[in-house]
Amino acid sequence: MRFTSLTTKTVKDSSQADVSRNAQLLLRGGYVDKLMAGVYTYLPLGCRVLSKIENIVREEMNKVGGQEVLMPALQPREIWDTTERWDKVDVLFKLMGAGDRELALGPTHEEVVTPTIGKFIQSYRDLPKAVYQIQTKFRNEPRAKSGLLRGREFRMKDLYSFHVDQASLDAFYEEVTAAYHEIYRRCGIGDITLLTYAGGGIFSKYSHEFQTITEYGEDTIYRIPGTDTAVNKEIVDDEGAMADLIPNYKKGDEKNLEELKAIEVGNIFKLGTRFTSAFGIEYADEAGAKQPVLMGCYGLGPSRVMGTIAEVLSDDKGLVWPDEVAPYHVHLVSLCRDEADIDRCENLYNTLCEKGVEVLYDDRAGVQAGAKLADADLIGIPRRVVVSPKTLKEDSVEFKPRSDDQAVITPIETFISVLMEKD
Amino acid sequence: MRFTSLTTKTVKDSSQADVSRNAQLLLRGGYVDKLMAGVYTYLPLGCRVLSKIENIVREEMNKVGGQEVLMPALQPREIWDTTERWDKVDVLFKLMGAGDRELALGPTHEEVVTPTIGKFIQSYRDLPKAVYQIQTKFRNEPRAKSGLLRGREFRMKDLYSFHVDQASLDAFYEEVTAAYHEIYRRCGIGDITLLTYAGGGIFSKYSHEFQTITEYGEDTIYRIPGTDTAVNKEIVDDEGAMADLIPNYKKGDEKNLEELKAIEVGNIFKLGTRFTSAFGIEYADEAGAKQPVLMGCYGLGPSRVMGTIAEVLSDDKGLVWPDEVAPYHVHLVSLCRDEADIDRCENLYNTLCEKGVEVLYDDRAGVQAGAKLADADLIGIPRRVVVSPKTLKEDSVEFKPRSDDQAVITPIETFISVLMEKD
């Protein structure tokens, strides 16, 4: 993509200023535009990042056997009455449809998925089942000041699983836990994202959150010493749970735990029969007797993950995208002025495109080197490649990974072949 | 995908009966589930078809230089007041957000895209621009009885283009027209979809609809003799327009036109400055003078196209998907009973999967041949391949295209190699 063809430009003025770091950077880089608090447009660069995150999520959900569906945002009041949540979910957007029908905009989809998939469950042979969607969700948040981290409208992957018994649910829950770790690893935040014990319910002792450590986080978690896991606030105050999770726990030990600020980037929950019993979803066992269906639900917000990456992996100069989610893999900066040099730079761009490398090419004429390099830092594509009269004299480019300070002069041919090995 | 692993089954009872042919077939085939009138869940088979249609649309929009974005469904009242449409669009869903903020659910996105993309338009050098999204839209339809053809919640591709002058807009409009023809061709309805002249506005004599001919259509169009184009109701009643479009037109000639029922599967419109002037979007020309930006908008609903294909390409027995949008390319039906035969059928399934062929494999035990073949017809995958003890004795399969009546016995190896040529 040529800079001169890209729909957006970097934004210098602060008219779109946002209080959160992730939104500031994404707005300035031309990744998103803010329509109102908690409601953003994903511009071409942002749409590419979001799609790449969603595709990683999709691939990992397919690997655990999830089958993709797409459920409606518009939901009739009746199904929320069935689960007695119409008045309990305080962020529920409510509206009136034609024929004076009361509707909600889905902040979650247990009320839709349970009766819908329940239609296809008759016998134990029909289980287990797992369906997921990647879809837009709505929450009427009173405050929405955290950019993509807490939206009124946001993207969500929600997976729901259906099981004959606890053992089947437990086994699938472990598989999804592993898939989540893989998703965060591929999104570049694996080593700073901790599996975090949270409160359970009637059907399981604990649920789990995935918390990404950052000083800007809204949540507080406590790392269990010597592990990659943590507990959240409600667990740290629960003596029984702590004794359960920490070897040789003594009362007061929780005061010595490392306290960390973090952003919740996913949560998984064993729902048991909470929703299947409300909708009367049962299966016939081998003896033909009716049995309750157990459910699990597994949430992960691609737009929140995008905001988290922007928040935690950025530096003073701008965004720093991990390879798998970067909008482009190479940021090619031309500092050429005379025609012969420009031609050589164009040739390099065309060669990379032909080889299938995703390149953002700063082909702007009349823009100073300093401004181009500042834009490259702000936009945060993993590999910056500068082509100038000086480098061309040596048949070379100046190559710098976004996360490094040091640029190296590399022969063009070497650069291309190394790049092809990587991609 | 194994039938025994697929989330859905075909639905025999009529508890989900729907008045429209497309919804009846899609419900019975397990492609969709109806949550309420005009609001459907896309189940795994339906989600695959919808994704394939959306990917065709995406590819063709990218080819004309469209850049993908994702705009919000939640829209503040202010932007609709700016264009004086808050009270004029009667299907606008309205709701109240936190802080008593009046909101609409977007049925279209001119009010969002114009000021958003306008921020990146300063000079003539910034034009033309074209952005599109593939996104969920909402219309508070008083009646929604046409299945996927008229939804309260539906999928839409909307492309918006921005230009310095009429010539640039006209040229792009032609490119999009060609892209639309290509989309319908790839979706299998190209030869029955007519470019149809519709009313224009201040900025152009005509807009255009794309109308797919079917006796079940809600619209009436009139084919212009000897062409692949038509006019809609408002044009046929306009003598000036008819004289313009039909060579040697004489008053009354319109009575002799072929009247056809059709479904509108797309529409394109030259907006001119209708929205850019409301939002004050101008560009500086080469002399530095401010000039108005011209716009075009181009709509195409993937979910409506899916409903249209179901409506027009089906037969008495069920759906008949064209190759590019079919949920799977091969429907492999096993009629084997003894272990050795089942093993050979499993081997064939595994071979096809390894070769990247998308196969739905009816591996159900204890289901009669008649029921399996009826399901295959209902689901409508383009190639049915039956493996039975009889065919295996000849190292063969029975192959039948869904759209043909005649099955042929083909050696397994021939079948595989012919398939690989096709896919």
- ipTM of the complex, rounded to two decimals: 0.96
Q: Which residue has the higher pLDDT, B335 or B205?
A: B335
- Which pLDDT belongs to residue A230? 96
Q: Is residue A208 part of a domain?
A: yes
Confidence class for position B18, pLDDT limits 50, 70, 90: low
At B160-190, the pLDDT tens digits run 999 999 999 999 999 999 999 999 999 999 9
Examine the domain organization and report whether B146 and B216 are in the same domain: yes
CB contact under 8 A, A35 and B76: yes
From A69, A117, A153, residue closest to B73, measured CB to CB: A153
Whether residues A33 and A135 share a domain: the answer is: yes
Q: What is the mean pLDDT of residues B266-278?
A: 97
Q: Is residue A231 part of a domain?
A: yes
Q: How far apart (Å, rounded) are the C-alpha atoms in residues A404 and B21? A: 60
Q: A386-422 pLDDT, tens per residue?
A: 999 999 999 999 999 999 999 999 999 999 998 888 6
Q: Into how many domains does chain B fold?
A: 2
Q: What percent of chain A clears pLDDT 70, i.e. is strictly above it?
A: 98
- pLDDT value at residue B322: 98
Tell me the percentage of chain A whose pLDDT exceeds 90: 87
CB-based contact A33 B70, cutoff 8 Å: no
* A308 & A415 share domain: no
**CB-based contacts of A389: which residues, under 8 Å, 6+ apart?**
A335, A336, A337, A338, A341
Instruction: Count CA atoms within 13 Å of residue A19 on its CB side.
Output: 9
Same domain, B306 and B358: no
pLDDT tens string B100-110? 999 999 999 99
Given this model, what pLDDT does residue A253 score? Answer: 86
Q: Which of B76, B120, B153 sits opposite A73 (nearest CB)?
A: B153
Contacts of A109 in chain B (CB under 8 A): none
pLDDT-derived band at A2 (thresholds 50, 70, 90) equals very high
pTM over 0.95: yes
CA distances A31 to A317, B79, B423, Å, are 16, 22, 37
Nearest-Cα distance to chain B for A10, in Å, is: 9
Closest-CA residue of B relative to A124 is: B4
Is B142 within 8 Å of A33 when comparing Cβ atoms? no
User: Distance, in angstroms, between B185 CA and closest chain A CA?
Assistant: 26
Helix axes B44-63, B302-312, angle to 10 degrees: 120
The verdict on B29 and B55 lying in the same domain is: yes
A337 inside domain: yes
> Is residue A205, in this structure, part of any structural domain at all?
yes
Using the 3D structure, point to which of B287, B312, B337 is the last residue of a domain: B312
User: Contact A70/B47, CB-based, under 8 Å?
Assistant: yes
SS3 content of chain A, % helix, strand, coil (to 5): 35, 30, 35
* Averaged confidence pLDDT in chain B: 95
Q: Taking CB atoms and an 8 Å cutoff, what residues of chain B touch A135?
A: 136
pLDDT band at A60 (very low <50, low <70, confident <90, very high): very high
Instruction: Kindly tell me if the per-residue pLDDT of A84 is higher than 60.
Output: yes
- Residue A221 sits in the same domain as residue A345: no
Shared domain check, B306 and B334:
no
Mean pLDDT of chain A: 95
My answer on whether B357 and B387 are in the same domain is yes
Cβ distance of A44 and B67 shorter than 8 Å: yes
Question: Is pLDDT above 80 for B241?
Answer: yes
Would you state the pLDDT for residue A201? 79
Contact A112 B72 (CB under 8 A): no
Q: Do B101 and A36 touch (CB under 8 A)?
A: yes
Which positions in chain A touch B55 (Cβ < 8 Å)?
A: none
Residue B174, classed as helix, strand or coil, is helix
The reply to whether B201 and B151 lie within a common domain is yes
Nearest CA in chain A to B93: A97
Non-local (6+) Cβ contacts of A224 within 8 A are A230, A231, A245, A246, A257
Q: Identify the domain boundary among A312, A336, A371.
A: A312
Phi then psi for residue A391, to 5 deg, are -65, -35
**CATH number of the domain enclosing A207:** 3.30.930.10
Based on the domain organization, do A156 and A108 belong to the same domain?
yes
Please enumerate in sequence order all residues whose Cβ is within 8 A of that of A248, keeping only pairs 6 or more positions apart, or say none: none
- Preferred mutation among B69, B79, B155, B161 to probe A, highest tally of A CBs within 10 A: B69
Q: Which of A47, A76, A101 sits opposite B69 (nearest CB)?
A: A47
Q: What is the mean pLDDT of residues A114-129?
A: 98
- Do A337 and A287 share a structural domain? no
SS3 state at B402: coil
Q: What is the reported pLDDT for B16?
A: 55
Nearest-CB residue to A72 (from B40, B95, B98): B40
Report pLDDT for A403.
Answer: 94
Task: Say if residue B17's pLDDT is above 90.
Answer: no
At A325 the pLDDT is 98
Banded model confidence at residue A303, pLDDT cuts 50, 70, 90: very high
Domain membership of residue B73 as a residue range: 21-312
Q: What would the pLDDT profile of A95-116 be if each residue is shown by its tens digit?
A: 999 999 999 999 999 999 999 9
Facing B72 at nearest CB: one of A40, A76, A120? A40
Give the pLDDT band of residue A293 (cuts 50, 70, 90): very high
Q: Say yes or no to pLDDT of B413 above 80.
A: yes
B201: confidence class by pLDDT, cuts 50, 70, 90: confident
B393: CATH: 3.40.50.800
**Cα distance from A182 to chain B (closest Cα, Å)?**
24
